[in-house]
């Protein structure tokens, strides 16, 4: 196809140069993407596509070009010159000087257009990949216009300019092993190998580059230093841009260069810090600190940052400091205090040992009086408090359990329980009462501190509080959800569930029973989900090392949960029904694993689930049912007859479902049966699918590992195949193969290949009688529905093979697609000609599974996205398609982006 | 301009059961007439069928055996109850002469239950104003109360325990009950009818003149069918009475807030009794508990009033029944007035919220309980006797009164279901403490759930409302000026206003602060035509008016003075006295320097000028005369020298303007 594209390219260039209209505004970007791919793949565009050179010189010299085409050309030239060879060719043809001369574009009146400016920057960005390019860049004096563009009115241009400035310094910075002194010594070696880049993708240093680079560094440093000044809006904007660039540089530059850059801007940063603390400035200081923490001046900068008088700024700075994982003796403790300060004030716990007249404390307390700032401050404090709990205790201003109790107290305040609070902070307390936002942040914080060392002692308090939250009718559904999550987490870390008082357990059961009847479906769903999670969590008893399900924290254990969940199966909301099925699977899993005997109720329940699968009007519960059987089948120790019977039923009902995800889940179940059969046949085929935790999540694509034939266990191959036919696995896979949903067909196809590889040996292998026995295993294709399509495929295949198999193979993918489209549309007119009994192996080998899997593997828009299609589009839109091929034209008509 | 004195007499201390009297511009207006029924909690329940349990309760004898009240007081679960017909605590009658009340304004049907006590036993001769739903539903509630009492007559009336000496010896809460001597038995149906015959119906925003002095107008308050706030205003003063209002979107018409603007005084009562219980959350809690009980095979008892929140409960259940799989569970509503209440609610379309009003035009019943009745999911009965006993199926949900659990059909269900822990009683009415209500039924196995649904304004909403309508002063029960005693740190559960609200409690008499004290006086056109205004300063003109002030029905009119009688006519004695032409009015100021210069011209040279706080004192030493020049007056103190005084007067007048 590439050859075909190259043939079309000159005409495309002509169309573009003529300024004809384009199919859509993304065409040029796509074309560039294709060129980039080719360049990355090692194709020399300059050599292989000389038409591109012609095109660039035509466009550059034309005065009337469209700005979009100009921009494209600028980027293209950069791309062409990104290799040294291309660079030389372009420089010789003097295109390069002209293209990257801003004066040229200004004179032509194109520089006003931001798309030309951005084309210029991106062209330069592509170009600056080798030492020659840097020298050209410096000699042509391009640094000045580039620095000016950093404050361009267009945000995109300004941002791109910053990016390229960062690129230049990072890409051309000396390699760590190469100091200025050793550089010359290594030059010879460099020349001999002549690599364009080092292993880490950076440019090796050379003498001529050294000078250019020094110039660039000097100019950029000077520019940064001059722009980092406070002042009016324009100056502020300039400073912000430079700060963003500095952040980029400080995080990626290596020591000598980074240090010199820092040295150049420290004074300016200090001055800026005095006037206004902005987020980018904070980022720069923290980035500087993380790279040069020992520098006294940087240390001083951080100190001034952390002594800002604005409470919110201080809080954000402290949080940013800890989030970066920065630690030092002075600042870490200071940050911890700053983050905990709002908690200290609002809860009135006074754990920070501060003078009530402290300036920071007073200004924070004043801020907390205002409702909106109060909520945001508290949330920031709570969100970042887990950062403190992981710190070394020596940095902490108070013990961990005090922090946990403060979070608990905050939660109590939010629900209006203000009894234990001093009245001094009543304004702030009033602001947080009933705030769902604060509640959620505090619950999140409570969840993250569950594993901290002081947590165990607080279990009862946490339990009591969460119960209160779950019992509060005014809580938002999201607060309920979060409370349940926190409860599960704390139960899972609680080593000794028996330490929880019985009354609390009883209360929890009462609350759960009530919430499962809640008016809001979200609350019912969260409750049911909670019960499932509880059943899935394993806790260790202190006296007994054997793990037990956490639902034992409820009086009556899982037997008290089951009726609640079974009731939820009748819920009018499908999400709740699905969650209930999933939760029931989780509560029953231990029984399955231990091979517990099936009770009458359990059998009746299975019948109920099968009814859900065939009768429920919503997809989610049906998916959950299939998932339930997947869990049962994969975790059960023994295969009861009920399980076998139900699985067969699920396979037939699930494969006939209208929801494609139910079908994919059904195929997953079929895969388990297949895996089981194949593992009996050969242990190497055992391949367990990833278990989907969520009841209605799509199963991730399994890794396809073709089965390798072993010599053992072939005597029962035929019996195995027969079992798979009887259990309905084969028919599920075949029906899936012709399904109109690609994920279903793809999964079925892959599984059929696995089956074919494992059980149906190719005819040329000599396996004696066994092959014959296997070949005799037959399958009765019904004469209706999906089977008709299978028959049609077989007929088409046979006919085609008879005519000319080789022609078909060499045909391009469009023909194959037609075949694919054909079976998707159905073959109503084809007669089934009665039930056909066919050999399974014959069927599998005649379905063309390997070709089919290739087609199915391609995404549905693969034809439309091909470069060929793109080129044809451009030609077609440009009206320059001189040799119209009707078939292709038709394709192009439907080819829309 | 005259000083207006407006008094507010507070006859009830209960913030949600108000009874206040406003004396304003020669009218005496009673604002609401609510009955405090919490006193019945001190009494034993009145069972519909004989209750062996209640009849076996031990009587009370003091520890030393000196006082024997075995027949009057019974002990149950460590508490004493009066075994008698329950009695109610009436509004204060001694604070002012209630026969002087001109009108009674009723804000909603819960706030009129004491009406017969006032209109029938105090010499009241005035009019009661209320909206139609308030009257009709109020009548139903009164009728229900009377029937509950009359159905279980008790000959005995316990009075001995009320003796002050004996009451002091009793254990709490009987010991702490206040004003027990004023407690009264329930009125009769005849008294109800007589009281309600004095009601005059009004519609929202209708203006009613009271003796020409004030105008009253009801505004929708959004709390219940026909509930209103009242505006009482004269030409220059406006008092708003806000009682039992709601901003929630339930069934009644939404609250009219804008008409409350520009009030001099806003009397605020009837805020939510449950400031921390959000009605939506409580409604959800009600449904969850109900479903949980039914699923477990138990019955649900909802003690409630027969009108009001029950409409919302039924509407909520209508939506919830299917989602909770309660389709087959029967719902019973038992009250002597159940049928009328359900039907009345459907016919007061104009008093409903917009959504419900539009349904009427479809035509569809505005409330979905019609459909529940049609599909036999909701059945209503006048009492447990008769059809109900044959239809009754369990598990079921029963809505019945009275929420105090002291009388009504609810007493029967308490006795019937109290022993099983499968059953649940869900309290939705906020008027009674549920623990006190349950006290005579202890020990009780039945589960109790407290979901008080009070849709009235909470503190957050009322602060917002007051910010919006900006009254100059707010008067409210003193309970609203501090956090609830049980939550003393919740400063969000009180009114914080600037200036601070004026608190009242039972028997307070407040002098309401009014800044503007004007009367409107009309001038007849012919008199107005005769006026000659002269401009005092730009935009201000004045004119002399000589007229006769005629006052009748609190309206004041200036009329033309009759012409002097002709000499020919006989002098009539009744004719008004004729005054001479009025002296011209003076205005302006006397400038010091020019005045001194003028004095000098007239030979007065020895003048000593002394500056005072209000102006100057000129001492004419030779003449031994003082001239006090002040901003609003000039005095000439000159003894025994009339010519000099006249001269000085004329000199002063030169500088002034005459009107």
Across A642-655, average pLDDT = 91
Residues in A touching B290 (Cβ below 8 Å):
517
Q: In chain B, which residues have their Cβ closer than 8 Å to the Cβ of A517? A: 287-292, 295, 324
Q: Of A135-144, A683-692, B393-402, B575-584, which range is least confident?
A: A683-692
CB contact under 8 A, B288 and A429: no
Contact A659, A623 (CB under 8 A): yes
CA distance B286 to chain A (A): 9
Q: What is the DSSP letter of A455?
A: G
Arithmetic mean of pLDDT, A406-431: 81
What is the structure's pLDDT at A808? 44
Residue B65: partners with Cβ closer than 8 Å, 6 or more residues away: none
The pLDDT value given to residue B137: 95
Mean pLDDT for chain A? 79
| CA distance to partner chain B, nearest, from residue A343 (Å) | 18
Residue A174 CA to residue A178 CA, distance in Å, equals 6
Query: Which pLDDT belongs to residue A97?
Result: 84
What pLDDT does residue A699 have? 46
In tens, the pLDDT along B417-447 reads 999 999 999 999 999 999 999 999 999 999 9
pLDDT at B371: 92
DSSP code at position B252: B
The C-alpha atoms of residue B195 and residue B112 are separated, in whole angstroms, by 10
The residue in chain A having the minimum alpha-carbon distance to the alpha carbon of residue B452 is: A473
pLDDT attached to residue A862: 64
Q: What backbone torsions phi and psi does residue A28 show, to the nearest 5 degrees?
A: -65, -40
Contact at 8 Å (CB) between B514 and B232?
A: no
* pLDDT tens per residue across span B489-507: 888 899 989 889 999 999 9
**Residue A881: band (very low, low, confident or very high) from pLDDT cuts 50, 70, 90:** very low
Residue A631 confidence (pLDDT): 92
Closest CA to B294 of B267, B256, B326: B326
Asked if A519 lies within 8 A of B278 by C-beta distance, the reply is: no
State the DSSP code for A135: H
Q: What is the mean pLDDT of residues A826-853?
A: 69
Q: How far is A565 from chain B (nearest CA, A)?
A: 13
Residues A61, A50: Cα–Cα separation, whole Å: 17
Residue of chain B whose Cα is closest to the Cα of A423: B489
pLDDT computed for residue A815 by the predictor: 39
Q: What pLDDT sits at residue A538?
A: 81
Partner-chain contact A517 B324, CB within 8 Å: yes
Contact criterion met (CB < 8 Å) for A514 and B316: no
**A605-614, A823-832, B91-100, B450-459 — which is least confidently predicted?**
A823-832
Q: How many CB contacts within 8 angstroms connect chain A with chain B?
A: 66
A514 to B289: CB separation less than 8 angstroms, yes or no: yes
- The sheet carrying B447-450 orders its strands as B378-381, B331-334, B397-400, B300-303, B424-427, B447-450
How close A478 comes to chain B (CA, Å)?
Answer: 14
- Tokens 């329950």 appear where? B86
* Residue B396 in this model has a pLDDT that exceeds 90: yes
Name the maximum alpha-carbon separation found in chain A: 97
Cα B102 from chain centroid (whole Å): 16
Q: Which positions in chain A have a beta carbon within 8 angstroms of at least one beta carbon in chain B?
A: 416, 418-419, 421, 423, 426, 429-430, 433, 472-475, 513-521, 567, 570-573
Q: Which two tokens stand for residue A328?
A: 């030092």
**Residue A575, pLDDT score:** 95
Dihedral, CA atoms, A37, A38, A44, A47, nearest 10 degrees? -130
Q: What is the pLDDT of residue B150?
A: 92
Burial A109-137 (b: 16+ CB within 10 A, else e): ebbebbbbbbbbbbbbbbbbbbbbbbbbb
Q: What is the pLDDT of residue B315?
A: 92
How does residue A888 score in pLDDT terms, banded at 50, 70 and 90? Answer: very low
Hey, are the CB atoms on B489 and A421 less than 8 Å from each other? yes
Residues of A in contact with B325 (CB under 8 A): 567, 570
Q: What is the dihedral sign for C-alpha A835, A839, A840, A844?
A: negative
pLDDT on residue B420: 96
* ipTM field: 0.79
pLDDT one-digit tens code per residue, A376-404? 999 999 999 888 888 888 888 888 888 88
State how far the Cα of A263 lies from the Cα of A256, in Å rounded to an integer: 11
Using a CB-CB cut-off of 8 Å, the residues of chain B touching A423 are 489, 491
Phi, psi at B89, each rounded to 5°: -90, 120
The answer to whether the Cβ–Cβ distance between A418 and B487 falls below 8 Å is yes
Q: Which of B272, B281, B284, B288 has the highest number of chain A CBs within 10 A, making it the mutation to test binding with A?
A: B288
- Flag whether pLDDT at B100 surpasses 60: yes
pLDDT level of residue A179 (50, 70, 90 thresholds): very low
- The tally of CA atoms less than 13 A away on the side-chain side of residue A82 is 22
Q: Give the pLDDT confidence of B547-605 residue by residue, as tens digits.
A: 899 988 888 899 988 876 665 555 555 555 555 666 777 888 888 889 989 988 888 88
> Best-predicted range by mean pLDDT among A88-97, A135-144, B93-102?
B93-102
Higher-confidence position of B566 and A636: A636
State the pLDDT at residue A831: 40
The single-letter DSSP state of residue B455 is -
Integer Cα distance of A19 and A878 in angstroms: 9
Closest residue by Cα to residue A234 from A165, A147, A153, A143: A153
Whole-angstrom CA distances from B70 to A273, B50, B440 are 85, 19, 16
Cα B555–B558–B564 angle (5° rounding)? 140
Taking alpha carbons only, the member of B319, B327, B316 closest to residue B294 is B327
Please answer yes or no on whether B292 and A517 come within 8 Å at the CB atom: yes
List the one residue out of A418, A415, A473, A417 whose CA is nearest residue A443: A415
What percent of chain A shows pLDDT beyond 90?
A: 20
What's residue A750's pLDDT? 92
Name the β-bridge partners of B247: none
Q: Are strands B424-427 and B300-303 parallel, antiparallel or unpaired?
A: parallel
- The model's pLDDT over A520-530, given as tens digits with 9 standing for 90+, comes to 999 999 999 99
Which chain B residues are within 8 Å of A424, Cβ to Cβ?
none
What integer is the mean pLDDT of B69-92?
92
Put simply, the answer to whether A519 touches B316 (Cβ < 8 Å) is yes
B295: closest chain A residue by CA: A567
Q: Please, which residues have CB within 8 angstroms of residue A640's CB and are 6 or more apart in sequence?
A: A598
pLDDT at A545: 58
- Cβ–Cβ < 8 Å for B227, B156: no
Both ends of chain A: CA-CA distance in Å?
20
Instruction: Give pLDDT tens digits for A23-74.
Output: 777 888 888 888 998 888 888 888 888 888 888 888 888 767 788 888 898 9
**Nearest neighbour of B288 by CB, restricted to A429, A472, A518:** A518
Query: Do A418 and B288 lie within an 8 Å CB cutoff?
Result: no
From the list B290, B323, B491, the residue facing A572 with the nearest CB is B323
Instruction: Give Cα B336 to chain centroid, integer Å.
Output: 29
Specify the higher pLDDT residue, A625 or B543. A625
| Distance from C-alpha of A121 to C-alpha of A119, rounded to nearest angstrom | 5
* pLDDT at position B134: 96
Residues of chain B that touch chain A, judged by Cβ-Cβ distance less than 8 Å: 276-278, 280-285, 287-292, 295, 316, 320, 322-325, 451, 487, 489-492
Report cis status (omega within 30 of 0) of the bond before B402: yes
A230 has a pLDDT exceeding 80: no
**Cα–Cα distance measured from residue B365 to residue B343, given in angstroms and rounded to the nearest whole number:** 10
Cβ proximity of A406 and A351 under 8 Å:
yes
Instruction: Check A423 against B489: CB less than 8 A apart.
Output: yes
Dihedral angle computed from the Cα positions of residues A636, A642, A645 and A649, in that order, rounded to the nearest 10 degrees: -80
Q: Is A472 in Cβ contact with B322 (below 8 Å)?
A: no
Give the model's pLDDT for residue A120.
Answer: 92
Residue A811 has pLDDT above 60, yes or no: no
Tell me which residue in A426, A567, A571 faces B295 most closely, judged by beta carbons: A567
Q: What is the pLDDT of residue B569?
A: 53
Higher pLDDT, A152 or B580: A152
Site of tokens 């004045």: B542
- For residue A620, give how far its alpha carbon lies from the nearest alpha carbon of chain B (Å): 18
Tell me what pLDDT residue A695 has.
Answer: 46
Are A305 and A318 in contact by the 8 Å Cβ rule? The answer is: no
CB contact under 8 A, A519 and B284: yes
Whether the CB-CB separation of A442 and B254 falls below 8 Å is answered with: no
Check residue B194 and give its pLDDT.
Answer: 96
Residue of A413, A435, A436, A517 to mutate, testing the B interface (most B Cβ within 10 Å of its Cβ): A517
Q: Measure in Å the smallest separation between the Cα of B518 and chain A Cα atoms.
A: 42
Name the one residue in this structure whose structure tokens are 């059909």. B409
Q: Is the pLDDT of residue B139 over 80?
A: yes
Cβ within 8 Å, pair B487-A430: no
Question: Which of B278, B292, B487 is facing A514, going by the closest CB pair?
Answer: B292
The confidence band for A301, taking pLDDT boundaries of 50, 70 and 90, is confident
Cα–Cα distance measured from residue A557 to residue A568, given in angstroms and rounded to the nearest whole number: 18
Query: What is the pTM (predicted TM-score) of this model?
Result: 0.79
Q: How confident is the model at residue A819 (pLDDT cuts 50, 70, 90)?
A: very low
Higher pLDDT, B333 or A325: B333
Select from A132, A258, A129 the least CA-distant residue to A206: A132
Residues on chain B touching A571 (C-beta within 8 angstroms): 323
Q: Is the dihedral of CA A13, A18, A19, A21 positive or negative?
A: negative
- Rounded to a whole number, what is the distance in Å from the CA of A574 to chain B's nearest CA? 11
Task: Report the residue from A426, A474, A518 with minimal CB separation from B491.
Answer: A426
What is the model's pLDDT at position B431? 94
- Beta pairing partners, B265: B239, B473
Q: Pairing state of beta strands B103-105 and B27-31? A: parallel
Nearest to A418 among B288, B291, B490 (CB): B490
What is the pLDDT, as a whole number, of residue A210?
74
pLDDT exceeds 50 at position A700: no
Residues above pLDDT 90, as percent of chain B: 61
- Which bin fits B428, alpha (ψ -120 to 50), beta or left (φ > 0)? alpha
Residue B278 Cα, gap to closest chain A Cα (Å)? 6
The answer to which of A174-188, B156-170, B462-476, B517-531 has the lowest mean pLDDT is: A174-188
Q: Which residues of B touch A519 (CB under 8 A)?
A: 283-284, 287-288, 316, 320, 323
| Selected residue of B280, B290, B323, B453 to mutate for chain A interface (largest A Cβ count, 10 A) | B323
Q: What is the per-residue pLDDT across A281-297, written as a single tens digit (0 to 9) for each?
A: 888 888 887 776 677 77
Q: Range with the lowest mean pLDDT among A248-262, A336-350, B224-238?
A: A248-262
Using an 8 Å Cβ cutoff, are A253 and A217 in contact? no
Q: How confident is the model at residue B261 (pLDDT cuts 50, 70, 90)?
A: very high
Residue A423 and residue B289: Cβ atoms within 8 Å? no
Question: A280: pLDDT confidence band, cut at 50, 70 and 90?
Answer: confident
d(CA A28, CA B425): 73
What does the block give as tokens for A533?
């999670």
Which residue among A474, A513, A573 sits closest to B292, beta carbon to beta carbon? A513
Nearest CA to CA, how far is A373 from chain B (Å)? 18
Q: Which residue has the tokens 């296997």?
A: A774
At residue A589, the pLDDT reads 87
Which of A706-710, A770-774, B467-471, B622-626 shows the highest mean pLDDT? B467-471
pLDDT tens for A576-595 read: 999 999 999 999 888 888 87
């Amino acid at each position: 196809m590439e050859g075909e594209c190259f043939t079309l390219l000159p005409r495309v260039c002509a169309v573009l140069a003529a300024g004809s209209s384009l199919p859509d505004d993304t065409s040029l970007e796509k074309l560039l993407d294709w060129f980039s791919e080719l360049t990355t793949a090692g194709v020399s565009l300059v050599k292989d596509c000389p038409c591109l050179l012609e095109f660039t010189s035509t466009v550059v010299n034309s005065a009337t070009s469209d700005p979009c085409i100009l921009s494209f050309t600028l980027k293209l030239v950069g791309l062409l010159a990104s290799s040294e060879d291309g660079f030389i060719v372009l420089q010789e043809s003097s295109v390069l000087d002209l293209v990257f001369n801003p004066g040229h574009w200004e004179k032509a009146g194109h520089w006003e257009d931001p798309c030309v400016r951005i084309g210029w920057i991106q062209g330069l960005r592509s170009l600056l990949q080798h030492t020659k390019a840097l020298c050209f860049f410096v000699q042509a004096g391009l640094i000045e216009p580039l620095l000016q563009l950093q404050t361009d009115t267009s945000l995109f241009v300004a941002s791109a300019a910053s990016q390229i400035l960062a690129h230049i310094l990072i890409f051309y910075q000396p390699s760590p092993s190469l100091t200025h002194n050793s550089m010359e010594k290594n030059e010879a070696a460099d020349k001999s190998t002549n690599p364009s880049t080092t292993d880490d993708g950076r440019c090796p240093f050379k003498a001529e580059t050294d000078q250019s680079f020094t110039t660039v560094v000097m100019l950029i440093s000077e520019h940064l230093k001059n722009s980092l000044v406070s002042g009016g809006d324009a100056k502020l904007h300039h400073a912000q841009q430079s700060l963003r660039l500095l952040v980029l540089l400080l995080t990626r530059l290596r020591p000598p260069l980074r240090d010199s850059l820092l040295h150049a801007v420290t004074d300016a940063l200090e001055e800026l810090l005095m006037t206004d603390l902005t987020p980018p400035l904070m980022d720069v200081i923290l980035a500087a600190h993380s790279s040069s923490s020992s520098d006294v001046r940087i240390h001083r900068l951080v100190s001034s940052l952390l002594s800002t008088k604005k409470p919110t700024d201080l809080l954000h700075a402290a949080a940013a400091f800890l989030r970066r994982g920065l630690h030092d003796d002075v600042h870490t403790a200071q940050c911890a205090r700053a983050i905990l300060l709002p908690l200290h004030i609002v809860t009135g716990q006074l754990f920070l040992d501060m003078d009530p007249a402290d300036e920071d404390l007073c200004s924070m307390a004043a801020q907390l009086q205002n409702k909106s700032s109060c909520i945001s401050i508290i949330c920031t404090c709570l969100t970042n408090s887990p950062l403190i709990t992981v710190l070394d205790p020596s940095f902490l201003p108070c013990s961990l359990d005090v922090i946990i109790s403060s979070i608990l107290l905050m939660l109590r305040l939010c629900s209006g329980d203000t009894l234990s609070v001093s009245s001094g902070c009543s304004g702030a307390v009033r602001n947080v009462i009933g705030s769902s936002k604060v509640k959620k942040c505090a619950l999140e914080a409570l969840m993250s501190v569950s594993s901290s060392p002081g947590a165990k002692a607080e279990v009862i308090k946490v339990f009591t509080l969460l119960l209160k939250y779950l019992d509060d009718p005014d809580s938002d559904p999201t607060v309920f959800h979060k409370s349940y999550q926190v409860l599960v987490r704390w139960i899972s870390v609680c080593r000794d569930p028996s330490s929880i008082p019985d009354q609390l357990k009883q209360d929890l059961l009462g609350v759960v029973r009530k919430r499962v009847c809640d008016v809001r479906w979200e609350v019912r769903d969260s409750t049911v989900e909670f019960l499932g999670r509880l059943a899935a969590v394993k806790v260790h008893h202190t006296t007994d090392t054997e793990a037990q399900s956490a639902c034992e924290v409820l009086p009556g254990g899982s037997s008290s949960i089951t009726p609640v969940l079974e009731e939820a199966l009748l819920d009018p909301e499908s999400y709740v029904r699905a969650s209930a099925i999933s939760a029931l699977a989780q509560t029953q899993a231990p029984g399955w694993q231990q091979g517990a005997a099936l009770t009458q109720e359990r059998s009746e329940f299975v019948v109920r689930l099968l009814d859900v699968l065939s009768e429920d009007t919503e997809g989610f519960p049906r998916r959950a049912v299939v998932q339930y059987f997947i869990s049962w089948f994969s975790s059960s120790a023994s295969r009861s007859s009920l399980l076998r019977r139900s699985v067969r039923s699920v396979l037939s009902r699930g494969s006939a479902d209208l929801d494609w995800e139910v079908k994919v889940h059904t195929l997953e179940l079929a895969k388990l049966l297949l895996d089981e059969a194949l593992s009996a046949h050969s242990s190497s085929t055992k391949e367990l699918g990833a278990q989907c935790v969520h009841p209605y999540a799509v199963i991730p694509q399994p890794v396809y590992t073709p089965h390798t034939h072993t010599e053992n266990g072939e005597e029962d191959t035929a019996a195995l195949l027969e079992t798979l036919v009887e259990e309905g696995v084969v028919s599920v896979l075949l029906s899936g193969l012709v399904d109109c949903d690609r994920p279903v067909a793809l999964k079925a196809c892959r599984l059929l290949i696995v089956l074919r590889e494992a059980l149906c040996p190719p005819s040329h292998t000599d396996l004696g009688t066994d092959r014959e026995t296997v070949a005799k295993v037959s399958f009765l294709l019904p004469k209706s529905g999906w089977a008709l399509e299978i028959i049609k495929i077989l007929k088409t295949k046979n006919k085609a093979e008879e005519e000319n198999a080789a022609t078909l193979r060499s045909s391009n993918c469009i023909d194959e697609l037609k075949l694919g489209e054909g079976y998707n549309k159905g073959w109503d007119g084809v007669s089934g000609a009665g039930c056909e009994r066919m050999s399974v192996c014959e069927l599998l080998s005649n379905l063309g599974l390997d070709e089919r899997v290739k087609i199915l593997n391609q995404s549905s828009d693969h034809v439309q996205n091909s470069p060929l299609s793109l080129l044809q589009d451009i030609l077609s839109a440009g009206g320059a398609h001189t040799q119209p091929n009707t078939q292709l034209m038709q394709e192009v008509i439907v080819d829309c982006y | 301009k005259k000083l207006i004195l407006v008094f507010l007499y507070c006859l009830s201390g209960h913030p949600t059961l108000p009874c206040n009297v406003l004396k304003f511009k020669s009218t005496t207006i009673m604002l609401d007439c609510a009955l405090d029924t919490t006193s019945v909690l001190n009494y034993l329940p009145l069972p519909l069928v004989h209750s062996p349990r209640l009849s076996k309760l031990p009587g009370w004898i003091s520890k030393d055996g000196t006082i024997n009240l075995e027949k009057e007081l019974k002990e149950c679960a460590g508490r004493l109850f009066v075994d008698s017909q329950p009695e109610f605590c009436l509004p204060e009658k001694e604070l002012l002469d209630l026969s002087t009340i001109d009108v009674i304004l009723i804000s909603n049907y819960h706030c009129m239950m004491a009406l017969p006590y006032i209109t029938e036993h105090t010499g009241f001769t005035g009019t009661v104003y209320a909206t139609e739903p308030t009257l009709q539903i109020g009548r139903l509630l009164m009728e229900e109360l009377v029937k509950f009492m009359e159905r279980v007559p008790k000959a005995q009336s316990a009075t001995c325990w009320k003796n002050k000496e004996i009451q002091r010896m009793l254990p709490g809460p009987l010991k702490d009950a206040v004003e027990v001597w004023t407690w009264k038995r329930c009125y009769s149906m005849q008294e109800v009818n007589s009281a309600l015959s004095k009601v005059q119906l009004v519609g929202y925003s209708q203006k009613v003149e009271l003796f020409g002095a004030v105008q009253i107008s009801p505004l929708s308050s959004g709390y219940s069918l026909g509930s209103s706030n009242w505006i009482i205003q004269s030409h220059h003063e406006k008092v708003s009475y806000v009682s039992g209002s709601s901003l929630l979107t339930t069934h009644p018409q939404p609250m009219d807030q804008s008409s409350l603007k520009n009030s001099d005084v806003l009397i605020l009562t009837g805020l939510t009794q449950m400031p921390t219980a959000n009605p939506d959350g409580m409604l959800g809690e009600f449904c969850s508990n109900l479903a949980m009980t039914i699923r477990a095979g138990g019955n649900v008892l909802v003690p409630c009033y027969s009108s009001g929140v029950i409409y919302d409960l039924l509407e909520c259940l209508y939506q919830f029944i299917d989602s909770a799989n309660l389709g087959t569970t029967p719902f019973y509503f038992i009250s002597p007035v159940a049928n009328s209440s359900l039907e009345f609610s459907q016919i007061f379309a104009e008093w409903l919220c917009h959504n419900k009003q539009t349904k009427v035009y479809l035509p569809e019943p505005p409330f979905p309980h019609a459909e529940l009745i049609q599909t036999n999911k909701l059945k209503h009965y006048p009492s447990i006797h008769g059809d109900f006993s044959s239809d009754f199926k369990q598990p079921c949900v029963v809505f019945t009164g009275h929420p105090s659990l002291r009388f009504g059909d609810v007493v029967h269900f308490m006795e019937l279901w109290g022993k099983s822990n499968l059953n649940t009683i869900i309290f939705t009415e906020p008027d009674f403490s549920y623990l006190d209500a349950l006290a005579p039924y202890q020990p009780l196995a039945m589960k109790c759930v407290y979901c008080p649904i009070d849709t009235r304004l909470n503190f957050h909403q009322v602060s917002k409302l007051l910010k919006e309508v900006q009254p100059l002063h707010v008067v409210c029960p003193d309970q609203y000026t501090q956090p609830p005693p049980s939550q003393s740190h919740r400063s969000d559960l009180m009114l914080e206003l600037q200036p601070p609200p004026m608190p009242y409690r039972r028997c307070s008499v407040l002098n309401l602060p009014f800044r503007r004290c004007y009367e409107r006086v009309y001038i007849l056109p012919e008199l107005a035509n005769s006026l000659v205004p002269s401009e005092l300063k730009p935009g201000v003109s004045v004119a002399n008016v000589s007229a006769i002030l005629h006052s009748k029905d609190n309206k004041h009119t200036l009329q033309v003075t009759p012409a002097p009688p002709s000499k020919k006519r006989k002098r009539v004695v009744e004719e008004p006295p004729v005054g001479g032409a009025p002296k011209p009015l003076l205005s302006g100021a006397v400038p010091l320097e020019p005045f001194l210069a003028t004095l000098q011209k007239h030979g007065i040279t020895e003048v000593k000028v002394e500056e005072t706080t209000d102006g100057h004192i000129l001492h004419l030493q030779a003449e031994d005369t003082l001239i006090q020049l002040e901003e609003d007056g000039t005095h000439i103190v000159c003894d025994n020298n009339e010519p000099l005084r006249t001269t000085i007067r004329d000199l002063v007048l030169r500088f002034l303007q005459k009107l």
